[in-house]
A and B are shown apart, each in its own frame.
Chain A
Amino acid sequence: MGSMGNGTSDYGNSFYREKGRYKGILSWLMSTDHKRIGIQYLAAILTFFSIGVLLGLLIRLSLIAPGKILGQNTYNQVFSVHGILMIFLFIIPGVPVAFGNFFLPIMIGARDVAFPRLNRLTWWLYLTGAVLVALSLFTSGGPPDTGWTFYAPYSIKAQANITLAVTGVFVLGFSSILTGLNFVTTIHRLRAPGMTWFKLPLFVWTLYATGWVQMLATPVLAITLVFIILGRVFGVGFFDPSKGGDPILYEHLFWTYSHPAVYIMVLPAMGIISEVIPVFARKTIFGYKAVAFSALGIASVGYFVWGHHMFTSGMSDTARIIFSFITFLVAVPSGIKIFNWVSTLYKGSIVGRAPLYFALSFIFLFSIGGLTGLIIGSLAPNLHLHGTYFIVAHFHYVMFGGAGFAMLTALHYWFPKMFGKMYPEKPAKIGWFILFSGFNLLYFSMFILGYKGMPRRYFDYPPEYFNLHLMSTIGSWILAAGLAIIAGNLLWALFRGSKAPADPWGGKTLEWQTASPPPAENFYEMPAVK
């Protein structure tokens, strides 16, 4: 392996050429190269995202003509599958498995993750879980109609094939745990000489915090799902009141995982923003340590706030007050991040490229999502807003406006590095504008709907809600058009784009010091860590 000059684009020596032991498709499916695994994950999650978007469009379409397009049971199944796909197959694995896999080792100056074969295994587990979930749609009983939350006791008694779907999610959880474990070990053990903890890129810090949440929260989901399976197969009634069980404990256990899972989704997304903002503001990040520690702060405090999903469940007042209080605490580290991003932009010489557009809209949308989170985290307003479209709007702002936009940021920021091609700037920005407009029309209407009392998960509603539903549905079409332009632009660039230089944006982290796309073991020479 010869050394190369100042790393211009060079397909000949890239990891795409280094096939290893296997030929053809197996050189992908059996590869233990973190970059190949990352690309496969990216393809997988984007596929499931596309299906999820189509289901979402179907839900919106059905809501402007209740009962005419989807029957009530079908409606329940469609929104459940939309949720399960988007949560477990797209956004929870999302950033870490695609961009984390590709960039974590490069950013810390390593040749691969700590356990490359384990990394390979996680991809296969992910695929197995996805197949099991898919099979549950077509086998006895049909698609789950429980919502993505699988609340007991309904999930234990429902006719649908919950057992298989839950088994699939269990396997996906296993994949997620092993990815987290792998990343945390990698960050502890494989940093290049000189790459001390406080020189780590902020994306790496967020992956570190995320890894811990994956390790400590996901097992609780695993055991909860095992309880569902045991309940359905053997009649163990831990959540069945007729057998002495307490259904509220199911909600506790479920949210003990599923709230921290929100941080699995959004923490690495914040890491991406922390990378992109300084590069395009031509400044170092404001308050590096504060941003790094706020990731750990969000991860640790965010672990203990799950009860705010259950304010109307019949939980004790003591617990409600405690959970509401801790929920407010999470706003502090989140606020620190927003403050530091904005301060980084202050007096920077801002370069308005496409990744920055997405990153800035992340800050805007995530702030709306976060601030409305404070409204529903307060006990009194929660009683009014719980289980309404306000919640739906809130989490779509946080998840799609947050994690989703961050993924689009990452895709535009790292596309040249991953594929060695540049995409045309103008279509990217046009796509962004349409997406951003459609997004706000689609989901902001839901805030108003929810405030006016429209309950979530209903396939029908009184006529006074029609106008807002119509606006929301029109928003969904605009949003889809934006996504289509973005996807088309990137696909075009994949085949026809011009060659990307090693460092098209002027980034300072290690991935920009190697070729685009990187060679098989990431660096020709050990990079210098400054």
Chain B
Amino acid sequence: MEKSGEQRDHIGAKYGMWFFLFTEILFFGGMFILYSVYRAKYAHDFHLAAAEENLLLGSINTAVLLTSSLAIALSISAVKNGNYRLSVKLQTATVLMGLAFLVIKYFEWTDKISKGIYPDSPVLLKISAGQILFFGLYYVMTGLHGLHVLIGIVVISFMIYFTRAGDITSENFSKLENTGLYWHFVDIVWIYLFPLFYLIT
């Protein structure tokens, strides 16, 4: 008898990943709910506060993340085609772009913090309630998104190892495919964060 744990049901594995992403939708959903309620309440303050955001860096980061999504999608096709070396290159590119995203994010954050804009800062507590909430949401939402990017980078690094070690093959690619799903989801979250924080001036 084959052990059920070792059975390969990659459709089942994919379902599991999608279900996990469903929970992520509701997790980020909780933040989007707060954002939408407070934005409805303090539309004007949100406009003022968004002027503080760096549109150029935000746009570059969006492009970086979209491109990294392309790279991981291509890497899966490459694995299915049996082209493992290409896949490793594409996965490495994804990791590098993920890191670039975080570095840019780091500059954005430190720039704001140097201006005294961070939760509970004396500067922030003097301005209007809506702006306090905007920056609070900004830090929490981009922060938790950044944490997801970081986790993604770690996971993809493992996938690079697995691909090189021959654990991920054209017959057995569930791990990589699920990692890709996760990475694309993180991308989608950013697709929504970008207009909500950078484009409402």
Chain A residues in the interface with B (C-beta under 8 A): 1, 32, 110-112, 114-118, 177, 181-182, 184-185, 188-190, 215-220, 222-224, 226-227, 230, 234-238, 243-246, 249, 253, 256, 521
**15 more A-B residue pairs beyond the given contacts A244-B129, A249-B37, A521-B4, with a C-beta to C-beta distance below 8 A:** A111-B1, A114-B16, A118-B16, A215-B23, A219-B27, A220-B27, A220-B29, A220-B30, A224-B30, A227-B34, A234-B120, A236-B120, A238-B133, A243-B125, A521-B1
Instruction: Please report the C-alpha to C-alpha distance between residue A217 and residue B33 in the assembled complex, in whole angstroms.
Output: 14
Instruction: Please report the C-alpha to C-alpha distance between residue A116 and residue B31 in the assembled complex, in whole angstroms.
Output: 32
Q: In this assembly, does B53 line the interface, its C-beta being within 8 Å of a C-beta of chain A?
A: no
Are B5 and A219 neighbours in the complex by a CB distance under 8 Å? no
Instruction: Please report the C-alpha to C-alpha distance between residue A116 and residue B20 in the assembled complex, in whole angstroms.
Output: 16
Chain B residues in the interface with A (C-beta under 8 A): 1, 3-5, 9, 11-12, 15-16, 19-20, 22-31, 33-34, 37-38, 41-42, 119-120, 125, 128-130, 132-133, 136-137, 139-140, 144
Shortest Cβ distance from A226 into B: residue: B144
Are B23 and A230 neighbours in the complex by a CB distance under 8 Å? no
Are B12 and A223 neighbours in the complex by a CB distance under 8 Å? no
Instruction: Please report the C-alpha to C-alpha distance between residue A432 and residue B33 in the assembled complex, in whole angstroms.
Output: 47
What distance in Å separates the Cβ of A190 from its nearest Cβ neighbour in chain B?
8
What distance in Å separates the Cβ of A82 from its nearest Cβ neighbour in chain B?
27
Instruction: Please report the C-alpha to C-alpha distance between residue A236 and residue B31 in the assembled complex, in whole angstroms.
Output: 13
The residues of B that contact A112 with a CB separation of less than 8 Å are 4-5
What distance in Å separates the Cβ of A101 from its nearest Cβ neighbour in chain B?
14
Which secondary structure dominates chain B's binding surface?
helix
What distance in Å separates the Cβ of B15 from its nearest Cβ neighbour in chain A?
5
The residues of A that contact B27 with a CB separation of less than 8 Å are 219-220, 222-223
Shortest Cβ distance from A253 into B: residue: B30
* Contact A114-B26, Cβ < 8 Å, known A185-B19, A249-B37: no
Are A236 and B12 neighbours in the complex by a CB distance under 8 Å? no
Are B11 and A219 neighbours in the complex by a CB distance under 8 Å? no
Are B30 and A32 neighbours in the complex by a CB distance under 8 Å? no
What distance in Å separates the Cβ of B14 from its nearest Cβ neighbour in chain A?
10
Which secondary structure dominates chain A's binding surface?
helix
Shortest Cβ distance from B33 into A: residue: A253
The residues of B that contact A223 with a CB separation of less than 8 Å are 27-28, 30-31
The residues of B that contact A215 with a CB separation of less than 8 Å are 19, 22-23, 26
Partner of A237, one of B19, B130, B136: B136
Instruction: Please report the C-alpha to C-alpha distance between residue A234 and residue B140 in the assembled complex, in whole angstroms.
Output: 10
The residues of A that contact B5 with a CB separation of less than 8 Å are 32, 112, 116-117
Are B16 and A230 neighbours in the complex by a CB distance under 8 Å? no
What distance in Å separates the Cβ of B83 from its nearest Cβ neighbour in chain A?
29
Partner of B12, one of A188, A245, A253, A256: A188
The residues of A that contact B30 with a CB separation of less than 8 Å are 219-220, 222-224, 253, 256
Are B22 and A216 neighbours in the complex by a CB distance under 8 Å? yes
Are A236 and B15 neighbours in the complex by a CB distance under 8 Å? no
Are B19 and A245 neighbours in the complex by a CB distance under 8 Å? no
Are A244 and B26 neighbours in the complex by a CB distance under 8 Å? no
Shortest Cβ distance from B9 into A: residue: A189
Instruction: Please report the C-alpha to C-alpha distance between residue A167 and residue B11 in the assembled complex, in whole angstroms.
Output: 33
The residues of B that contact A222 with a CB separation of less than 8 Å are 27, 30
Are B4 and A181 neighbours in the complex by a CB distance under 8 Å? no
The residues of B that contact A230 with a CB separation of less than 8 Å are 119, 140
The residues of A that contact B28 with a CB separation of less than 8 Å are 223
Are B23 and A237 neighbours in the complex by a CB distance under 8 Å? no
Are A244 and B42 neighbours in the complex by a CB distance under 8 Å? yes
Are B133 and A243 neighbours in the complex by a CB distance under 8 Å? yes
What distance in Å separates the Cβ of B22 from its nearest Cβ neighbour in chain A?
6
Instruction: Please report the C-alpha to C-alpha distance between residue A282 and residue B25 in the assembled complex, in whole angstroms.
Output: 45
Are B23 and A181 neighbours in the complex by a CB distance under 8 Å? yes
Query: 7 closest pairs, A vs B, by CB?
Result: A244-B129, A235-B120, A223-B30, A219-B27, A189-B12, A111-B4, A219-B26
Please indicate which of the listed interface residues B23, B37, B128, B130 has the most CB atoms of chain A within 10 Å of its own CB: B23
The residues of B that contact A216 with a CB separation of less than 8 Å are 22-23, 26
Instruction: Please report the C-alpha to C-alpha distance between residue A185 and residue B16 in the assembled complex, in whole angstroms.
Output: 6
Are A238 and B34 neighbours in the complex by a CB distance under 8 Å? yes
What distance in Å separates the Cβ of A172 from its nearest Cβ neighbour in chain B?
15
Instruction: Please report the C-alpha to C-alpha distance between residue A32 and residue B4 in the assembled complex, in whole angstroms.
Output: 11
Are B136 and A238 neighbours in the complex by a CB distance under 8 Å? yes
What distance in Å separates the Cβ of A455 from its nearest Cβ neighbour in chain B?
30
Are B129 and A236 neighbours in the complex by a CB distance under 8 Å? no
Instruction: Please report the C-alpha to C-alpha distance between residue A404 and residue B59 in the assembled complex, in whole angstroms.
Output: 54
What distance in Å separates the Cβ of A218 from its nearest Cβ neighbour in chain B?
7
What distance in Å separates the Cβ of A392 from its nearest Cβ neighbour in chain B?
28
What distance in Å separates the Cβ of B178 from its nearest Cβ neighbour in chain A?
12
The residues of B that contact A253 with a CB separation of less than 8 Å are 30, 33-34
